[in-house]
Amino acid sequence: MSAYITGTDANFETEVLNTDQPVLVDFWATWCGPCRTIAPTIEEIASEYDGKAKVVKLDVDNNPQTAMKYGIRSIPSLLFFKDGKPVDQMVGVVPKKVLAEKLDALGQTA
Amino acid sequence: MSLTPTPLPPGLDWDAAERRTIVIVGTGPAGLTAALYAARAGLAPLVVQGPEPGGQLTTTTDVENFPGYPDGVMGPEMMADFEKQATRFGAELRWGAVTHVDLSQAPHRLVVDEATPLVAESVIVATGASAKYLGLENEKRLLGRGVSACATCDGAFFREEEIAIVGGGDTAMEEALFLTRFASTVHLVHRRDELRASQIMQDRVLNHPKVQVHWNTVVTDVVGDDAVTALATRDTVTGEPGTLPVTGFFVAIGHKPNTDLFRGWLEMDEAGYVQTHPDSTWTDVGGVFVCGDAQDHVYRQAVTAAGTGCMAAIDAERWLAERHVIDGVDTETEYHAAPAESSETGEPVEG
Ligand SMILES: Cc1cc2nc3c(=O)[nH]c(=O)nc-3n(C[C@H](O)[C@H](O)[C@H](O)COP(=O)(O)OP(=O)(O)OC[C@H]3O[C@@H](n4cnc5c(N)ncnc54)[C@H](O)[C@@H]3O)c2cc1C
């Protein structure tokens, strides 16, 4: 069972922007090596933060509008959203601990 | 480039530190092959993955020259295979990067992510190499926001945009050509008036309708608040400043070995490649071995990295056996002493 949500250009507003929870969005593509490397970490974070934060995976090839809107220039790009706004961005393979700490911090300011 | 090693962070509890027979630093082809051999030798290696799990090949697409894959293979897939094979025999992979070392005595001391102490009877350095950057502050700030050292990874985000690439070797030419598939214009910025790349690659690039070459030009700054909007340049002959209105800036000026961590401990050449004893992976510190791109400035291939990774595991196993850290090996008959004394062990190695 995967706890992450598949983001699209169509559902981005409801799933990411209009929610009270902090959101981690993983911009990725099938051809991107480091994206595959980080995929298991993203999935673990998604299950561990189930109910506390949302984790969204968005394929940039199929959803170019959202990728363009947030100026994605490199993947994996990990964007953190709070109250509909991007508050932080990390690029490349990031250790789970760093992601968890960020989500914890965003959760506390809720 | 100081020669004094960085001291270990204070306050770590070394008595309670995890203790391992062998720690491998890096999970590229070299590290994972060393892990495979060490695991099969029963040494239960701990492998610290570092900032780029799977190594450089995870940033490329097709690998056509690794034997055993007759139809070629995607770099990331190949590295997943390497990992599977190493973990199947008990190699333990761990997140994190080694941030400090103290190699003054065996067992050696390592610190992971500035916080976790680790004691190792033997260490295999397989930290590989990374793309070089120009070293500008704004280049670093805008990394992933228009600045990239990997055309194959990020090129597709610059469809119909103007971009620039800096570099003059074959890799730079390959990347420039690749970028022409997406960009409307590729500005090739080069500090001299001729390229180092092979004639055939030069011809392809210089004759490409989308490529605009800027000879005798250096990049002095990367401009942009949240994303790259331009490059500041300078003409090296006239001294005249200039700007290039680009949204992407690709750096292709070569690679440098990831060995800063070991400065002051291991002997290196000027570029930072760790020196080895002839025909071996021995460094000048007992129990510390080096393999792959961290020590090889000549071949720099996945298969040679894997080859030296295998050598490092075998060298480490022998070293451990000789010091009776591990047993079961008859050091008198089966294994010779350090290649420092004898570089021709000539012994067949069990598979
Ligand atoms: C775009 C590209 C395409 C290529 N294509 C080919 C090809 O087709 N065929 C071929 O044979 N070769 C190719 N190469 C070269 C090949 O990738 C390298 O020769 C090979 O990966 C070197 O292996 P390595 O294990 O020594 O190091 P790397 O692959 O560089 O791996 C280094 C490892 O060390 C880790 N590390 C670094 N610092 C630390 C630290 N402080 N703590 C812990 N871990 C650390 C990293 O996370 C990484 O896992 C290509 C290289 C590039 C960049």
3-state secondary structure chain A: CCCCEEECCCCHHHHHHCCCCCEEEEEECCCCHHHHHHHHHHHHHHHHCCCCCEEEEEECCCCHHHHHHCCCCCCCEEEEEECCEEEEEEECCCCHHHHHHHHHHHHHCC
Q: Is the link from the previous residue into A64 a cis peptide, with omega within 30 of 0?
A: no
pLDDT of residue A31: 81
Q: Answer for the pair B299, B36: CB distance below 8 angstroms, yes or no.
A: no
Same domain, B196 and B244: yes
Q: Does B80 sit within 8 Å of A36, measured CB to CB?
A: yes
Q: Is B269 a catalytic residue?
A: no
- The preferred substitution site among B24, B37, B56, B296 for testing ligand 1, maximizing ligand atoms within 8 Å of CB, is B56
pLDDT of residue A10: 96
Q: Which residues of chain A fall below pLDDT 70?
A: 1-2, 109-110
Q: Is B291 a catalytic residue?
A: no
Same domain, B245 and B171: yes
Q: What does chain A come to in residues?
A: 110
Pick the catalytic residue: B153, B193, B269, B279?
B153
Same domain, B187 and B292: no
**For residue B54, which atom of ligand 1 is closest to its CA?**
49
Q: A54 - beta bridge partners?
A: A23
Domain limit, last residue, from B251, B278, B303 = B251
Number of folded domains in chain B? Answer: 2
Q: Does A33 sit within 8 Å of B58, measured CB to CB?
A: yes
pLDDT of residue B3: 66
Give a yes or no: residue B106 inside a domain. Answer: yes
Same domain, B241 and B98: no
Q: Which residues make Cβ contacts (< 8 Å) with residue B263, sequence separation at least 6?
A: B1, B2, B3, B5, B272
Mutate to test the interface with B, among A37, A44, A65, A98 (most CBs of B within 10 A): A37
Give a yes or no: residue B88 inside a domain. Answer: yes
Q: What residues make up the domain containing B227?
A: 137-251
Report whether residue B65 contacts ligand 1, using a CB cutoff of 6 Å: yes
Nearest by CB to A33, which of B54, B95, B113? B54
Same domain, B313 and B264: yes
B35 token code pair: 């892990």
Same domain, B112 and B261: yes
- Mind listing the pLDDT tens digit for each residue in A62-90? 999 999 999 999 999 999 999 999 999 99
**For residue B131, which atom of ligand 1 is closest to its CA?**
53
Same domain, B48 and B118: yes
Report whether residue B179 contacts ligand 1, using a CB cutoff of 6 Å: no
Q: Answer for the pair B202, B173: CB distance below 8 angstroms, yes or no.
A: yes
Q: Does A34 touch chain B (CB under 8 A)?
A: yes
Smallest CA–CA distance from A78 into chain B, residue: B144
Question: For position B297, which CATH number holds?
Answer: 3.50.50.60
Radius of gyration of chain A (CA): 12
pLDDT of residue B302: 97
Report whether residue B148 contacts ligand 1, using a CB cutoff of 6 Å: no
pLDDT of residue B153: 83
Q: Taking CB atoms and an 8 Å cutoff, what residues of chain B touch A97?
A: 95
Same domain, B277 and B216: no
A5-108 maps to CATH 1.10.1740.10: no
Q: Taking CB atoms and an 8 Å cutoff, what residues of chain A touch B75?
A: 33
The amino acid present at B204, given as its one-letter code, is R
SS3 call for B159: coil
Give a yes or no: residue B339 inside a domain. Answer: no
Rounded to whole angstroms, how far apart are CA atoms B321 and A44?
40
pTM (predicted TM-score):
0.81
Q: Is the Cα dihedral B317, B322, B325, B330 positive or negative? A: positive
Same domain, B45 and B78: yes
Rounded to whole angstroms, how far apart are CA atoms A86 and A16?
10
Q: Taking CB atoms and an 8 Å cutoff, what residues of chain A touch B54?
A: 33, 37
Same domain, B26 and B111: yes
Delimit the domains of chain A by residue range: 5-108
Q: How far is CA B271 from CA A109, B139, B296, in A?
A: 47, 22, 11
Domain limit, last residue, from B211, B226, B251 = B251
Q: What is the mean pLDDT of each run of 10 residues along chain B (351 residues)?
A: 77 95 98 98 96 88 91 91 97 94 94 94 97 95 92 90 96 95 97 95 96 97 96 97 98 95 96 96 97 95 97 97 75 42 43 41
Distance from CA of B240 to the nearest CA of A (A): 30
Same domain, B47 and B127: yes
Pick the catalytic residue: A16, A24, A35, A75?
A35
DSSP per residue over B239-289, as a string?
--EEEE--SEEEE-S-EEES-GGGTTTS-B-TT-PBP--TTS-B-SSTTEE
pLDDT of residue B329: 53
pLDDT of residue B111: 96
Give the residue among A13, A23, A28 at the shortest CA–CA distance from A77.
A28
Q: Does A36 touch chain B (CB under 8 A)?
A: yes
Could you tell me the distance, in angstroms and rounded to a whole number, from the CA of residue B167 to the centre of ligand 1? 20
Q: Answer for the pair B150, B158: CB distance below 8 angstroms, yes or no.
A: no
- The preferred substitution site among B57, B74, B79, B81 for testing ligand 1, maximizing ligand atoms within 8 Å of CB, is B57
- First-residue to last-residue Cα distance in chain B: 40
Give the residue among B317, B331, B340 at the shortest CA–CA distance from B37.
B317
Smallest CA–CA distance from B61 into chain A, residue: A31
Q: Which residues make Cβ contacts (< 8 Å) with residue A51, sequence separation at least 6?
A: none
B164 token code pair: 């620039």
Between B302-322 and B29-40, two packed helices, what is the crossing angle to 10 degrees? 40
Mutate to test the interface with A, among B145, B147, B161, B226 (most CBs of A within 10 A): B145
Nearest by CB to B61, which of A31, A34, A37? A31
Residue window 47-106, chain A: list those with CB within 8 Å of chain B: 60, 67, 71-75, 77, 89, 91-93, 95-97
pLDDT of residue B23: 98
Same domain, B127 and B141: no
